[in-house]
């Protein structure tokens, strides 16, 4: 079956970043926007890393590990450095309402990871890429371990839930994990999301299990509703919080599965419009938060109704982000390389050509 639905899901998750950040800017004036922000935050990054692991597994089947590493270095590290320096500088100024650029000369801004901002995802993913590269170099048949019959949905759920919780528990007992930095990532993030990246890698090699997970629509929907229904009750006790901490891993997998089901059911056929939007989604992810912060700073929305402010931020940011890709990035060899990690190609080739793992950025 074509995997366009996974690429489409990636584009949806990138686009949700616009809603997430607009809600974050508005949540101080309305609890409803705080709830929107918190809901999206419960599954968005987990789903990102799962998709990234899936396409990393795919890319590793196309050539030697060295080719995989070069591809990811180009697609991840170059946009991280360029956008972290060029765009996140503007983001920092806009959010601080202070256009004094002297902070660029302070060591703490770089060493503490402030320059990463929303790009922490790319840095974290690059560390996972290095790990996967090392595993394939040390054990070329690493992926074959997942072909054993004892692997099933139950072991997937248990593996993700237990590994995520164990690593987060470990991180909470190691000094400096929460506040430390690895220059391109934060240690707490690296520990929190690696279970989902490995789950995506596993699901590429066991697409039979992926299909079973996606097809469990009633079960997945019921469990997601149950999670939210019991959350307030469970949060009131120590044991309940521990249950939620373990359950959260399974919950995120099930929300991702529901997204995959919708995408596979309705958006898995070739479509030029969807292909163009998907193609632009990496650029949208890179530019939307600095762009939104500047828009917010320009309109000074002190007396603006919060619903109007939210709508303006979402619409203006989405349109401008897409046009930046369409007008500038996709037509410039240099910008395409600096922001997307590849040289630009004719639009028709991108819109109607076959899905290429190397172009999928949540493979980012």
Domain span at 148 = 4-359
Distance CA 263, CA 239 (A): 36
Asked if the structure places residue 364 within a domain, the reply is no
pLDDT at residue 69, as a whole number? 94
Running DSSP on this structure, what letter comes out for residue 3?
-
Calpha distance 289→38 (Å, rounded): 17
Question: Tell me, what's the pLDDT at 106?
Answer: 92
- pLDDT for residue 349: 39
pLDDT (0 to 100) of residue 356: 39
Kindly state whether residue 266 falls inside one of the protein's structural domains. Answer: yes
Give buried/exposed letters for 83-117 (b at 16+ CB in 10 A, else e): bbeebbbbbbbbbeeeeeeebeeeeeebeebebbb
Count Cβ atoms within 10 A of the Cβ of residue 236 and give its class: 0-12 exposed, 13-18 middle, 19 or more buried: exposed
Domain count, the chain: 1
**Whole-angstrom distance, CA of residue 189 vs CA of residue 128:** 11
Contacts of 86 by beta carbon, 8 Å cutoff, 6+ apart: none
Q: So what's the pLDDT on residue 344? A: 66
Residues with pLDDT less than 50, the chain: 346-364
Q: What does the pLDDT read at residue 1?
A: 57
Question: Could you tell me if residue 35 is inside a domain?
Answer: yes
pLDDT at 200: 97
Q: CA 294, 74, 118 angle in degrees (round to 5)? A: 30
End-to-end CA distance of the chain: 22
Q: What is the pTM of this model?
A: 0.91
């Amino acid at each position: 079956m074509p995997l366009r639905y996974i690429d489409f899901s990636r584009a949806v998750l990138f686009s949700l970043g616009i809603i997430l950040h607009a809600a974050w800017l508005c949540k101080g004036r309305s609890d409803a926007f705080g709830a929107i922000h918190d809901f999206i935050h419960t599954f968005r990054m987990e789903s990102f890393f799962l998709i990234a692991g899936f396409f990393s597994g795919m890319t590793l089947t196309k050539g030697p590990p060295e080719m995989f590493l070069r591809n990811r270095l180009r697609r991840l590290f170059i946009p991280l450095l360029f956008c972290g320096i060029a765009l996140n500088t503007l983001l920092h100024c806009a959010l601080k309402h202070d256009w004094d650029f002297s902070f660029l000369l302070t060591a703490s801004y770089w060493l503490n990871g402030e320059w990463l901002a929303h790009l922490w995802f790319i840095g974290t993913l690059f560390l996972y890429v290095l790990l996967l590269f090392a595993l394939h170099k040390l054990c070329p048949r690493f992926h074959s371990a997942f072909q054993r019959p004892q692997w099933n949905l139950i072991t997937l759920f248990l593996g993700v839930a237990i590994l995520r919780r164990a690593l987060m528990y470990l991180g909470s007992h190691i000094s400096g994990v929460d506040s430390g930095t690895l220059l391109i990532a934060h240690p707490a993030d690296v520990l929190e999301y690696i279970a989902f990246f490995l789950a995506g890698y596993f699901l590429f090699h066991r697409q039979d299990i992926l299909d079973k997970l996606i097809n469990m629509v009633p079960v997945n929907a019921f469990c997601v509703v149950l999670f939210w229904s019991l959350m307030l009750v469970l949060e009131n006790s120590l044991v309940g919080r521990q249950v939620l901490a373990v359950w959260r891993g399974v919950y995120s997998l099930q929300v991702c599965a529901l997204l995959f089901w919708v995408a596979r059911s309705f958006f898995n056929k070739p479509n030029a419009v969807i292909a163009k939007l998907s193609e632009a989604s990496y650029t949208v992810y890179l530019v939307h938060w600095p762009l939104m912060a500047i828009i917010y700073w320009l309109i000074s929305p002190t007396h603006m109704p919060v619903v109007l402010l939210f709508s303006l931020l979402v619409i203006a940011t989405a349109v401008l982000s897409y046009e930046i890709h369409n007008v500038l990035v996709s037509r410039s060899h240099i910008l395409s390389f600096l922001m997307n990690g590849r040289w630009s190609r004719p639009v028709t080739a991108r819109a109607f050509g076959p899905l290429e793992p190397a172009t999928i950025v949540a493979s980012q």
